[in-house]
Structure 1
Amino acid sequence: MSYIDRCQKLKLAFDGGEPEFDNMEFSEYQFHSLAHDILPGKTNYYCASHKLDLIENMLSKNEIGEIQDDVQIEDVIVEENQNFTYKILKPKGNDSVKKVTFIFHGFNEKTWDKYLPWGQAICEKTQSAVVFFPIAFHMQRAPKLWSDKKAMFELSKKRKAQFPNIIGSSLSNVAISMRLHSKPQRFIWSGLQSYYDIIQFIEECKSGKHELIDKDFSFDIFAYSIGGFLAEILKLTNPKNYFSETKLCLFCSGAVFNRLSPVSKFILDSEVNVALYSYLVEHFSSFLKKDDLLRHYIEEDHMEGKVFHTMLDYRVMRDFREALFKKSENQIYAIALKGDSVFPTYEIENTLKGASRDIDITVEELDFPYSYSHENPFPMNKQESQNIEESLNIVFSKVCDFFNQ
């Protein structure tokens, strides 16, 4: 079976047409995010950990990023982000799963299509169940309008007219670009919601509430692109020691936020990139002073906020960050691609191996004998199908060898 045929059959199985594929099968489950009330759109907030009432002082939006109300809806009321389904791929016949691998996807992703052969390879080579868990406001956690090609094409036209020198604006990224341009702190809050969602998922499994996953399960993480950012924060924070034995494999990922180059018609446009950098890096300390809610989660006794902060800017708490990576150096492995312009290899090494290169995390650079990009490392190219299949096998043999050690 060719690579393209296999991808199409996997998509059919994933979408419910034929849930069985070879010796594997997909199943679907419901999830309700208990952390959604941390999101922007309210005035009063409550931190249960510290029994503290808080107020978000930065409720005003940047009107420059505004165009359409259907995109600029308040985060806290987006139903799709609160209640959603997720899929699990497992070896056929396993009624109780004791080994799980999470797949964390990239920024501005709308479908799981490209991840399905990745998940298949991990499931087959490690015999673990693969959980396709979506990040907040991505995949099935976003309103369908944000993926409507006609509506987003019209919106992109308006955005290009508003910013004549804009680079990389497209129907694919206009919704997320507008929302983050209008309110850059969404990056923080959706990231924290995703962080808490993963912990909630783990705790529900450990308490025996999941019908498929055994309460004594173990798990690893395969993270791609910005999904690696979430995975690193979870691993370095290690809440309740849940991640002590977790292995983390990073693919085209691993660098801190301010060392990325995310301007692409598939990721973010140039205007929101500037706004994010200004907010999260250049002026973040000023915003922390003005926003009680943000300051509490970033600077006041929330380890996840402290780690989030150091992963935004290479210079911030570098010794702290590198000490945490050093603790987990034998449990982290990264594969970089020579042709990746979004997560360059040397920036991944700067973060994972440290400024003095004294952290023993393996960062392996690969290259493929066909045209590829960060966003599409294994493209649907009939002429290069054999090379693509071979390259995918090389990558995931390395990934699974690491998980199986």
Structure 2
Amino acid sequence: MEVSTRTKYLNQLFSYERKTEIADSKLEIIPFRFTQTIGAGEIESFQKELSETNFCQMADNHIVENKHFTYMVFNPLKREKSGEAIILLHGLNERTWEKYLTWAEYLAMTTGKPVILFPIAFHMNRSPQLWSDPRAASPWVSRRKEEVADLCNSTFANVALSCRISENPLRFYASGRESVYNLWQLVQDIKTGVHPLFKEGTSINLFAYSIGAFLSQILLLANPDGLFTDSRLFMFCGGSIFSQMDGRARDIMDREAFDRMEHYFTHSFIERTSVPATFKNDFLEQAFKAMIRPDVMKEFREKFFQSASDRIRAISLKKDTVIPTTGIFSALGKASDKILKEMDFLYPYSHQVPFPIRGKVDSAAVNQAFTSVFSQAASFL
């Protein structure tokens, strides 16, 4: 696949408003509406307790885009319902599916399975448009630089997430918990035959990148209603223990926000010194805690990954500083030997842009790297 050309072509076709056919791939991209019901009351209560920010003077529970939204499915052209599906989960602070379109197309074409692009809470089209509007966000970058001394990595691209996390780091957990509930609901609808594309009892696997991999690990650890007992998970540039991630980047989060979030979860949250009473210390929270620090719930975490090692695979990148290979080792423990493979590419890349499509880059090398990663993913999923 020629990644650059194909990405541009698919991006032109992509629309949240209509079904689109990709004739040469024998696929269609179908939008579906989602309204959260599982855990909706609990999430509403959580969000009411999170203070508003100056950047977005609206309580989280009033952001309608997050409650009712569209997700997309790359579906092979056929009339019968499918008995298999792949859910694709994205990275932190993402506002567009552009780089994932070739990923979804390749997986759908190669496996013959529908690929569901599902947005994490307050990401992609689940947030107000002004959060990703350079003209609206740039003044807040200047204001944030005035308010925070020696601020690093603050840009219009990360100012919304940075302001929200800096005001209350608990948002990271609340939105993650909401996303677990949403995936729980989606998979339940699919497996019970409610979803129009899928047969009852459909098997569901996951392709997860970056923070999407972290969310997937928690999902498999928690395994709500036993829905993910047999699910396979392929992680790309993801899978690290939280304490060894580094989200300080111009397109993810500024340094002050990330440092505050990292300290909060590795200390206050674990010790429950500043957690609202409405936040339950239940199976979802336990799964989240198991992924925070290497020393916390180590036996539980490593025993799970050892037992699930046949159905989990991970590819890390040698020069990835956001989700380093060492952090994935810390999360997986001895299961790393079976699950994890580190790769390196013959061109300049980053965690955020593993397959560059702009600037001076060796397109043949990018295409080869892309195929190497996704052929392994497709074969496993």
Normalised TM-score (structure 1): 0.88
Q: How do 1:24-43 residues align onto structure 2 when only pairs under 5 Å count? A: 24-34=27-37, 35-39=39-43
Contact 1:97–1:214, Cα closer than 8 Å, also in 2:
yes
1:349 Cα deviation after fit: 1.5
Match of 1:394 among 366, 372, 377: 372
Aligned pair in 2 of structure 1 residues 77, 358: CA closer, same or farther (>3 Å)? Answer: closer
Alignment match, 1:380: 357
Contact 2:223–2:229, Cα closer than 8 Å, also in 1:
yes
Contact 1:39–1:189, Cα closer than 8 Å, also in 2:
yes
- The one-character-per-residue Cα deviations of 1:30-56 (angstroms, maximum 9, x if unpaired) are 10012343336669xxxxxxxxxxxx8
- Tell me the SS of whatever aligns to 1:214: strand
**Structure 2 residue 58 is matched with structure 1 residue 73:** yes
Q: How do 1:254-293 residues align onto structure 2 when only pairs under 5 Å count? A: 254-288=239-273, 291-293=276-278
- The one-character-per-residue Cα deviations of 1:209-260 (angstroms, maximum 9, x if unpaired) are 2111112211110000000111001112222221121110010000111110
Instruction: Provide the rounded CA distance (Å) in 2 between the counterparts of 1:3 and 1:330.
Output: 30
- Tell me the SS of whatever aligns to 1:217: strand
Instruction: Provide the rounded CA distance (Å) in 2 between the counterparts of 1:306 and 1:165.
Output: 36
Alignment match, 1:339: 319
RMSD: 2.0
**Structure 2 residue 353 is matched with structure 1 residue 367:** no
1:4 Cα deviation after fit: 1.9
Aligned pair in 2 of structure 1 residues 181, 289: CA closer, same or farther (>3 Å)? Answer: closer
Aligned pair in 2 of structure 1 residues 316, 21: CA closer, same or farther (>3 Å)? Answer: farther
Q: How many residue pairs get matched?
A: 376
Instruction: Provide the rounded CA distance (Å) in 2 between the counterparts of 1:108 and 1:194.
Output: 14
1:380 Cα deviation after fit: 1.0
Q: Which runs of 5+ in 2 are unaligned?
A: none
Contact 1:96–1:213, Cα closer than 8 Å, also in 2:
yes
Match of 1:247 among 220, 232, 245: 232
Alignment match, 1:13: 13
- Tell me the SS of whatever aligns to 1:81: helix
Instruction: Provide the rounded CA distance (Å) in 2 between the counterparts of 1:341 and 1:220.
Output: 27
Name the % identity. Answer: 33
Q: How do 1:85-164 residues align onto structure 2 when only pairs under 5 Å count? A: 85-164=70-149
Q: Which deviates the most, 10-19 or 315-324?
A: 10-19
Instruction: Provide the rounded CA distance (Å) in 1 between the counterparts of 2:162 and 2:319.
Output: 25
- Tell me the SS of whatever aligns to 2:346: coil
Q: Which runs of 5+ in 1 are unaligned?
A: 44-55
Q: What is the letter of the counterpart of residue 30 of structure 1?
A: R
Instruction: Provide the rounded CA distance (Å) in 2 between the counterparts of 1:165 and 1:289.
Output: 27
Aligned pair in 2 of structure 1 residues 60, 181: CA closer, same or farther (>3 Å)? Answer: same
Normalised TM-score (structure 2): 0.93
- The one-character-per-residue Cα deviations of 1:131-165 (angstroms, maximum 9, x if unpaired) are 00000000011111111111111111111122231
